[in-house]
Amino acid sequence: MIINQHNSTVIITQDKTGSSEFLKKLSVLHERYKENDIILELKDTPLASKDALVSLSEMHRQLNYSFVVVSTHLNPDDFEDDLTLVPTLQEAHDYIEMELMQRDLGF
């Protein structure tokens, strides 16, 4: 797991760990980064638990922070509106920037 922080955004990148181990580590780390916008960059491995990822996303969004997953192998239709899924890191940054503007405007 590789963690980089830029201003109020934390980018957490999956390294060589499997997805189930990665999600376990992520749920432990969530407490530390719960007051930051999170970009989760997944490598192209099968996802062990969609429910765990959706649960983390929902919990984070309830705190009024962004939670964006970057992945080219996950299908957005599998998650409906439960998860913000984008194909590139730049799109994740753009999405967070839009959400920040909406929060500033009170939406």
What are the domain boundaries of the chain?
2-105
Structure tokens at 30: 């969530």
Residues 6+ apart with CB under 8 A from 71: 41, 42, 44, 85, 87
State in words which class domain 2-105 has: alpha beta
Convert the pLDDT of each residue in 3-58 to its tens digit: 999 889 999 998 877 777 888 888 888 889 989 999 999 887 667 678 888 888 99
Are the beta carbons of 95 and 84 closer than 8 angstroms? yes
Binned at pLDDT 50, 70 and 90, residue 70 comes out as very high
Binned at pLDDT 50, 70 and 90, residue 107 comes out as confident
Q: Report the Cα 85 to chain-centroid distance in Å.
A: 8
